[in-house]
Structure 1
Amino acid sequence: MQTERLELRPFTPEEAGELLELRRSNEKFLEPLEPIRSDGYLTLAGQQTEIMQSEQGRTRDQAYVYAIRLRGSGQLLGRAALTGIVRGPFQNANLGYFLDENHNGQGYMTEAVLAVLELAFVKHRLHRVQAGVMPRNAKSRRVLEKAGFRQEGVAERYLKINGEWEDHVLFAITVEEWERRQALSQQTQPSSEHRPSAEDTRTL
């Protein structure tokens, strides 16, 4: 999928070295926000395993993991993932993401999350996407709010992050809410005479 500035697509095994470089350069930045990793995680083999597991998840319709890249240059900026997919009457996924520290504050993460929601609801036919954010992570909370997520509550001691059980604010959005936002967005955009078509700016 392409957006105005980004391209999102699954990782390939050949990109493990590139993902490792991104992870290593953001190790200190991400450390307070993630679980403690195994000793082998920040190795080429560790990232190859990550990509292999994401491929298995895609094959089984359990997870969809996307590389976030700049359009044109192809520079890898981050990762976004729909995981823990449950079908049946639930049709739900968990959303997770990270972005290179040097590219924070430029709207890239919000742009990527909006693209992932389109994939979730249009391509993967999910009904609901949820995400959990630590209360102190104001930037990530703002990303979800700008993408249309609503706050559902607080889960106490929800995940073990950097060695500590942390509370998380739970957010969610359903396909009905997303469709309403899409309709409102189309109503407020300029006429087609003055803007590019959807096919020009975004492709599934």
Structure 2
Amino acid sequence: MPLHTDSIYLRPLQEKDVDELLELRVRNHPFLQPFEPIRPASFHTREGQQEQIEQSIRDFANDRGFAFGVFLQENEQMIGRVALSNVVRGVWQNATLGYFLDQSHNGKGYTTQAVRLALQFAFTKAQLHRVQAGVMPHNIGSIRVLEKNGFRYEGKSLRYLKINGAWEDHNMYAITAEEWTL
């Protein structure tokens, strides 16, 4: 299934992506840290990113998660990552959406496009029924990405995730297959 727009494309992360993913993570660490957990120093090493990619390959093969690199069409540069994780089958058919984009490419609509493509995969190829996302209330840009993709606000989860060393509240958003439009 092609997952692309005129500007970007998604593809599953591969072992050959390790150096580009590491460079992206290291370059954007100061920008992303306020929105992420504090990770061990090994995370920002080649071995740490190789481990992340290997886990994403195993998750993809076992239907537990689907991590994609976000690439520019014009030069095939990796500019981010979008993932459907914590896949639960059975009566729920749900996944949790997460994403990040290179700071230098923010504000161009790429994140909105990447999320739209991930939803296309979720509701067609992966046959999920529901995708949810948690966003800190002050992360207005991320909230807009979700709203533009048809997510609805479901409520606030207090002290939901430990982000940057503190337990942060998150606004919960979701979309189901019935609400999704291509």
Q: Same fold (TM over 0.5)?
A: yes
Matched residue, 1:29 = 31
One-letter amino acid of the structure 2 residue matched with residue 137 of structure 1: N
Q: 1-side partners of 2:140 and 2:18: how far apart?
A: 30
Q: Residues 48-67 of structure 1: matches in 2 within 5 Å? A: 48-67=50-69
Matched residue, 2:71 = 69
Q: 2-side partners of 1:50 and 1:161: how far apart?
A: 19
**Could you report, residue by residue, the CA deviation over 1:105-128 in whole angstroms, capped at 9, with x for unpaired residues?**
111000110010000000100000
Q: 1-side partners of 2:6 and 2:179: how far apart?
A: 23
Matched residue, 1:201 = none
Q: 1-side partners of 2:147 and 2:129: how far apart?
A: 18
Q: Residues 27-176 of structure 1: matches in 2 within 5 Å? A: 27-176=29-178
Q: Please report how far the alpha carbon of residue 11 of structure 1 lies from its aligned counterpart in structure 2 after TM superposition.
A: 1.1
SS of residue in 1 equivalent to 2:42: coil
Q: Please report how far the alpha carbon of residue 59 of structure 1 lies from its aligned counterpart in structure 2 after TM superposition.
A: 1.1
One-letter amino acid of the structure 1 residue matched with residue 30 of structure 2: K
SS of residue in 1 equivalent to 2:123: helix
Matched residue, 1:6 = 8
SS of residue in 1 equivalent to 2:43: coil
Q: Please report how far the alpha carbon of residue 3 of structure 1 lies from its aligned counterpart in structure 2 after TM superposition.
A: 1.3
Q: 2-side partners of 1:175 and 1:40: how far apart?
A: 38
Q: Which runs of 5+ in 2 are unaligned?
A: none
Tell me the percent identity. 53
SS of residue in 2 equivalent to 1:50: helix
Flag the structure with larger Rg: 1
Selected match of 2:22 from 20, 26, 31: 20
Q: Which runs of 5+ in 1 are unaligned?
A: 183-204
One-letter amino acid of the structure 2 residue matched with residue 115 of structure 1: L
Normalised by the length of structure 2, the TM-score is: 0.98
One-letter amino acid of the structure 1 residue matched with residue 32 of structure 2: L
One-letter amino acid of the structure 2 residue matched with residue 73 of structure 1: N
Normalised by the length of structure 1, the TM-score is: 0.87
Q: 2-side partners of 1:14 and 1:117: how far apart?
A: 25
Q: Please report how far the alpha carbon of residue 4 of structure 1 lies from its aligned counterpart in structure 2 after TM superposition.
A: 1.9
SS of residue in 2 equivalent to 1:40: helix
Q: 2-side partners of 1:105 and 1:91: how far apart?
A: 32
Q: Which has the higher strand share?
A: 2
List 4+ stretches of structure 1 deviating above 6 A.
none
Q: Please report how far the alpha carbon of residue 15 of structure 1 lies from its aligned counterpart in structure 2 after TM superposition.
A: 1.1
Q: RMSD in angstroms over aligned alpha carbons?
A: 0.6
**Could you report, residue by residue, the CA deviation over 1:153-173 in whole angstroms, capped at 9, with x for unpaired residues?**
000000000000000000000
**Could you report, residue by residue, the CA deviation over 1:29-65 in whole angstroms, capped at 9, with x for unpaired residues?**
0000000011100000000000000011011100000
Q: 2-side partners of 1:129 and 1:90: how far apart?
A: 10
